[in-house]
Amino acid sequence: MNISKRIKILVIDDEQGIRDWLSLELSSEGYEVKVAEDGEKGIQKAEKEKFNIIISNIRMPKVSGIEVLNRVKKISPGTMVIMMTGYAIGEKEDENVRKEAFHFIYKPFEIKEISSLLKKATVEGGYAN
């Protein structure tokens, strides 16, 4: 059985193109993918449903990815969170991301980069067993 078929991923990004692209690509790799268009909706989904991995943008309206990261780690400490951004981040944001997130990636990135991170997160999160 393909490990990715058991992995549930939530993609949170205010850019529809990023959500659609990641959903399509990761679904084609066998992952179960859900999306949320902002941090508030992402947190709501994480409160209702267990995700193995969350991929979240940092800069979003209303609720930032940093707040998503902090809330998700309280809701589900074992969830692996990959943060992404197209912008430079501040020192305080950087410290929080490095401490709490599984990994951080700058946009634009190629699907092979995120696929590689997902494989590592699957192993480190204990989902490969």
Q: Which of the residue ranges 82-86, 91-95, 124-128 has the most confident prediction, judged by mean pLDDT?
A: 82-86
Domains of the chain: 3-121 (3.40.50.2300)
For residue range 14-65, what is the model confidence (pLDDT) as tens digits?
999 999 999 999 999 999 999 999 999 999 999 999 999 999 999 998 899 9
Give the amino acid at 46: A
Give pTM, 2 decimals: 0.90
Contact indicator for 82, 105 with CB cutoff of 8 Å: yes
Q: What is the pLDDT of residue 99?
A: 73
Q: How confident is the model at residue 127 (pLDDT cuts 50, 70, 90)?
A: confident
Element (H, E) at 42: helix 39-48
CA-to-CA dists, residue 43 to 12, 29, 31, 46, 64, angstroms: 9, 25, 20, 5, 11
